[in-house]
Structures are given as C-alpha cells and as structure tokens.
A and B are shown apart, each in its own frame.
Chain A
Amino acid sequence: MNEFQDRRTIQKIVLNAHTVAIVGLSASELRASHFVGYYLQRHGYRVIPVNPNEELVLGEHVYPSLRDVPERIDVVDVFRDPAAVPEIAREAVEVGASALWLQFGVISPEGARIAQEGGLAVVMDRCLKVEHARLLGRMHWMGFDTGVIAGARR
C-alpha cells in the first residue's frame, strides 16, 4: 500500500494538476465526494464530474464516463466501489490521464496496477482534499498533523 502513498508522488500531483475528473461525484452536499469537489473548485482546480446518474453538479456538466469527457484530464479521482476501479483505471489509461487517485477506502490493487502499467502515477486510500490542505492549505488550523516541518521563512 505504501507504494501508492508516496509523498513525492502526492506532492507532484497536488502541485501540478489543473483538471480533476471526479468519478462518482455526488450531487448531495453531505457526501465526501461533494466536499472534495467543492473544495478543489474553491482552490482553482477545474473539476469535471463523472457520474451516469447526474446531469449538473457544482455548476458543471456531468459526463457518464471518462471516455465521454471532451478535454484533457490530469487526475482521475475515484469515489466508487473498489470493484469498479479496474475498469475506471483502463479508461483512465485510454484517455491519457496523468494520475489515478483512489480516495479513502477505495482500495484496488488490481486497478492500481492497471493504471501504473499504463504510465499513470497512482495514489490509493488517500484524500485529495486532505493532501492539498496539508501541503498548501489550512489543515494546520484544525490541529491535524500535516507533517510539514520548517524553520525557514517561505
């Protein structure tokens, strides 16, 4: 698992990504996927919802699958049953995404392997919002351990 929680990989994705396709983004404001999508939009990412059951989420047109998204995707961020991940990983490879990000509890070694073999960076069982808040955001205001240690002024 640690192979897919590499801090350098996480840092690169968070700092370099622009477009994040969220697979399984819910229209319900109470779901974790909505919290993450809302947060990423606030912090300047272009969020593309992917969900066959929705039409408009967070003001964005929703696509039924990754293959239907008409623009380049940097990160495929997954909030789905782990059983669905291998197919999502194949699609992510097919559309030329740069990274596959599997959220807390979305654990699929097979999906991770498929994406990795397809040349994608892979993160598993981590939250994109948390990692952004840890590195760039305000997570340190909430008493969470960010792991950031620095004495220099930057």
Chain B
Amino acid sequence: MDEAPRDFGFNTRAVHAGQRPDPYTGASATPIYQTAGFVFEDTESASAYFNLQEYGNVYSRIMNPTVAAFEERLASLEGGVGAVAFASGLAAQAALFFALLEPGDRIAVAKALYGGSTAQLNHLARKLQIAVDWVDMDAPDGWRRSVTAETKVLFAETIANPGGNVLDIELAASVAHEVGAPLVVDNTFATPYLCRPLDWGADLIIHSATKFIAGNGTTIAGAVVDSGTFDWSNGRFPSVAEPSGAYHGLKFHETFGVYGLLMKLRSETLRDFGAVLAPFNAFLLLLGMESLAVRMDRHVANALAVAEWLRDQPGVSAVRHPALADSPYRPLVDRYLPDGAGSVFSFDLESGRDGGRRFIEALSLWSHLANVGDTKSLVIHPASTTHRQLSDEELVASGVAPGTVRLSVGIEDVDDLLWDLERGLRAARGSAVPA
C-alpha cells in the first residue's frame, strides 16, 4: 500500500496493459466476450449505464470487454488517456472527422497521404461540404501557408504511405495550436514503438491496426487515441462542447473533461456509425501487440538492409526509404524515429509500368497483395492497385510514379528476401529469370 506505483516500460505494457487475469476463472489470455448484449444487474444500474453515470457494458455496438482491452493497451502504448476501436482504420478516420466537423468547415491535410484516405476525404468533402486544403508537408512553411483561422483540423501521417515522407510533428502541432485546431496524426506506419506523436504535441492518433499492430495480416481494425489535452471548449467545437441532443443536453467536454471527446466518440459517433470492432478481432490484435517490439526491431533491420541493397542495383532509379543516409527526411528520422523508420517504403524501376509488372510477376517469395505491416514480405505496384482511383496529379502529389513499387518488408531471413528481389529486378530489366 505504501509502495510507490511503478511506471512500467513499453514492452511490459505491450504484454499486459488492458488485461488482467480473469478474476472469476483465472484465465490468463483475454477472454473473447462473444456476446451482443450484457444483462443488467437491476433497473437502476441499467439507467445509470444509459445515462453515462456509471461505466457499464450495455451492447457490443458501443463497448465490449475484449475490445476494451485492445483499446486500453493501444492507449497505454501511445501515451493517450484512452482509445475507441473501429472496424477499420478508415472507419476510425471517418468517425473522428464526423465527430469533429460541421458543414462548411475547412481542414488542412498533408498531400502525401495513403490513397484510400485521400479518396475518403474527397468524398467527405463533397458529401458534407468540408473544404480540404492539401498541404505540402515537406515545405518548411507548408502548414503555415495552408492553415488559416478557419482551419478546424490538421491531419498527416507520421510516415506517409507510400512516399515515406516524415512529418515534422512539433512544427505541425505548433501551427495547429496557434489557430486552436487539433493535430491528428495517422501513426500506422511508425507504430507507438517507433514514434509516439502525442509526446511531440499531436492531439489525436488514428491507427489502421490492420498493419503492424495486428502484425500477422489477420485482421481489419482501426482506432482513435486521444491525448486528452486539447481544449474542446475553445469555442470551435460545438459538437464536443455544446449540449448533445442524444443525451438530454449533456455537454461531453464539460462533464467528462479529458475523457469528453472519447465518451462522445463512443456513445454517440460509434453508436450511430455502427462500425464496431468484433471481439475476436480484438483478441487477435491483443496477441499481435504482445510481440510488437520484437517484430518491429526485425522489420526495421530487414527493411533498411533491403533499401541499402536496392540502391546499388541496376535498373533501380530511386529508393525512398526515409532512414537512408542521403534521404531528405534523415534529420526528421533522427529526431522522431531514432529506433527506425518502419518497414514500408517504395522504389522506382527505370523500366516504368511494364517493368513493374514484370518485376512483380517474377517474384516467388514476396506476396503481391494490398496490405502492409505483415510478418510476411509484401509487394505492390500502387499505380495499378491502391492508387488506381487517383488522378495523375493526385498520384504524383502522393509520391507515386508509373514505375513505383511499394515494399512492406517482413521478418523473414533477409538473404532470402534479397534473393527473390534480384530475380524480380532481372525480369524488370528484361533478362530471363532462371527457373
């Protein structure tokens, strides 16, 4: 009792946060609470749960104990006050913007962005009358040029997909806070093991947990993590600060303080959207997170070895790994990503679109598929797949050329990965591949 509570380290929290042995059965692994509803103790408790006066399980479209264990673990690793899980990263993103924005609002978003996010924001802009100002986040005054007193949210990825652009988080956060707007960072490619944007001034984190968090390519999942430090009562966010019609005039920020936005996101936005994470999927994410640190070390080492090797190969015109010594992002990597810049990066083939096709068809170990952050090494040709729906202008803005190939380097033996890549490069150059 008199012993000081311990500040446990990252790896301990990756294994334990959010989950304790089940008090009733002693089960050591997190039980999968595969249930839609939860039986109320009595009518008084039921109404207390519905009125948000007491934390209680009501319905798995709003909360679920297995999902909550995942949410708490992710929040603990990111250094946030809490998290709300969603069925996918894009669901998390849409829900957060839906919760924060009103028709007519402006947001500032990094141009170098995952193609699916760009497409989603363009749709949101059209349907909800949101104006999106696309930001050149690499320019020293990029954010400052695009952000005005009207800007409600700034949004960027820690490491952009697939260009590998690294965000100057402190700079973006300071521009955001000058106009009373939150900085939202998609930390999917870095994971909290390599970078914790909240420590650098970001206010909210979005994850596609499908990637390194799940780790094994088993599960589509997303989450929003809140720092709890943004002042939602600054007059710019009526949906968080003003009375909510859904809860008899409750003011989420005033009543729940640092937990206000997350309470709203769960009990209003998630409830309305319905894009919930399934308990079994949360269980898989919990398993994945236990090994996050050891996997990331291997991912990072393999990816850097592959990038350095590729740079010396004939037929390769550019390698965009931000941790390479000559990368323009190297100073930002040294600052924000000292333990590594992830394992997803792209390179360009001199042989263009046809070379890209020949390269991918010649590979036998690497999998050609539309995911990243798996233990398995993955390869894709963005111009014909993930970024196909973007205009040429948007394609170039997000760092993609016709011959660009994106790699997600797994944790296999790196010599085997290089062996296969060499076969692909030979095919891209037009040489025969030995059987």
Contact with B along A9-34 (1 / 0, CB 8 A): 00110010000000000000111100
Known A141-B65, A142-B68; judge A151-B55 contact (CB<8 A). no
Among residues 62 to 121 in chain B, which have CB atoms less than 8 Å away from a CB atom of chain A?
A: 63, 65, 67-69, 71-72, 75-76, 80-85
In angstroms, Cα B69 to Cα A70, docked, is 44
Residue among A15, A141, A144, A148 with max Cβ neighbours from chain B (10 Å): A144
Chain B interface extent, by class: 35 or more
Residues of B within 8 A of A153 (CB): 21, 23, 26
- Does chain A have a CB within 8 A of B295? no
Known A42-B54, A105-B257; judge A8-B2 contact (CB<8 A). yes
For B51, the closest partner residue in chain A by CB is A29
Residues of A within 8 A of B16 (CB): 149-151
Partner of A104, one of B20, B63, B72, B257: B257
A-B contact pairs, 12 of them (CB 8 A): A11-B5, A30-B243, A30-B249, A30-B250, A30-B251, A39-B53, A141-B63, A143-B84, A144-B71, A144-B75, A147-B5, A150-B21
Residues of A within 8 A of B83 (CB): 143
Q: Are B250 and A142 in contact (CB under 8 A)?
A: no
Among residues 160 to 219 in chain B, which have CB atoms less than 8 Å away from a CB atom of chain A?
A: none
In angstroms, Cα B49 to Cα A39, docked, is 11
Partner of B56, one of A7, A11, A138, A154: A138
In angstroms, Cα B57 to Cα A139, docked, is 11
Known A30-B248, A152-B21; judge A146-B72 contact (CB<8 A). yes
Q: Are B5 and A144 in contact (CB under 8 A)?
A: no
For B243, the closest partner residue in chain A by CB is A30
Residues of B within 8 A of A45 (CB): none
Residues of B within 8 A of A4 (CB): none
For A34, the closest partner residue in chain B by CB is B53
| Whole-angstrom distance between the Cβ of B235 and the nearest chain A Cβ | 16
Partner of A142, one of B48, B82, B251: B82
| Whole-angstrom distance between the Cβ of A55 and the nearest chain B Cβ | 22
In angstroms, Cα B26 to Cα A12, docked, is 27
Q: Are B251 and A144 in contact (CB under 8 A)?
A: no
Q: Are B72 and A144 in contact (CB under 8 A)?
A: yes
Chain A interface extent, by class: 35 or more
Q: Are A143 and B266 in contact (CB under 8 A)?
A: yes
In angstroms, Cα B255 to Cα A104, docked, is 10
Q: Are A42 and B48 in contact (CB under 8 A)?
A: yes
In angstroms, Cα B85 to Cα A7, docked, is 28
Contact with B along A108-129 (1 / 0, CB 8 A): 0000000000000000000100
Partner of A150, one of B20, B26, B54, B76: B20
Partner of A138, one of B17, B51, B55: B55
Chain A interface residues (CB < 8 Å from chain B): 7-8, 11-12, 15, 29-32, 35, 38-39, 42, 104-105, 127, 130, 133, 137-154
Residue among A8, A138, A140, A152 with max Cβ neighbours from chain B (10 Å): A140
Residues of A within 8 A of B17 (CB): 145, 149
Contact with A along B1-12 (1 / 0, CB 8 A): 110111010001
Q: Are A145 and B65 in contact (CB under 8 A)?
A: no
Residue among A8, A11, A30 with max Cβ neighbours from chain B (10 Å): A30
In angstroms, Cα B249 to Cα A23, docked, is 23
Residue among A29, A31, A147 with max Cβ neighbours from chain B (10 Å): A147
- Does chain A have a CB within 8 A of B254? yes
Residues of A within 8 A of B6 (CB): 149
Q: Are A140 and B63 in contact (CB under 8 A)?
A: no
In angstroms, Cα B85 to Cα A144, docked, is 11
In angstroms, Cα B259 to Cα A30, docked, is 16
Residues of B within 8 A of A141 (CB): 55-57, 63, 65, 68
- Does chain A have a CB within 8 A of B18? yes
Residues of A within 8 A of B51 (CB): 29
In angstroms, Cα B12 to Cα A120, docked, is 35
Residue among A31, A139, A149 with max Cβ neighbours from chain B (10 Å): A149
- Does chain A have a CB within 8 A of B256? yes
Q: Are A143 and B254 in contact (CB under 8 A)?
A: no
| Whole-angstrom distance between the Cβ of B389 and the nearest chain A Cβ | 33
Q: Are B23 and A149 in contact (CB under 8 A)?
A: no
Q: Are B63 and A7 in contact (CB under 8 A)?
A: no
For A6, the closest partner residue in chain B by CB is B4
Q: Are B5 and A145 in contact (CB under 8 A)?
A: no
- Does chain A have a CB within 8 A of B13? yes
Residues of B within 8 A of A133 (CB): 55
Known A7-B5, A8-B4, A140-B69; judge A145-B82 contact (CB<8 A). yes
Residues of B within 8 A of A35 (CB): 52-53, 255
Residue among B20, B51, B57, B266 with max Cβ neighbours from chain A (10 Å): B20
- Does chain A have a CB within 8 A of B258? yes
- Does chain A have a CB within 8 A of B289? no
In angstroms, Cα B72 to Cα A149, docked, is 11
- Does chain A have a CB within 8 A of B383? no
- Does chain A have a CB within 8 A of B307? no
Residue among A8, A39, A145 with max Cβ neighbours from chain B (10 Å): A145
Residues of B within 8 A of A7 (CB): 4-5
In angstroms, Cα B251 to Cα A142, docked, is 18
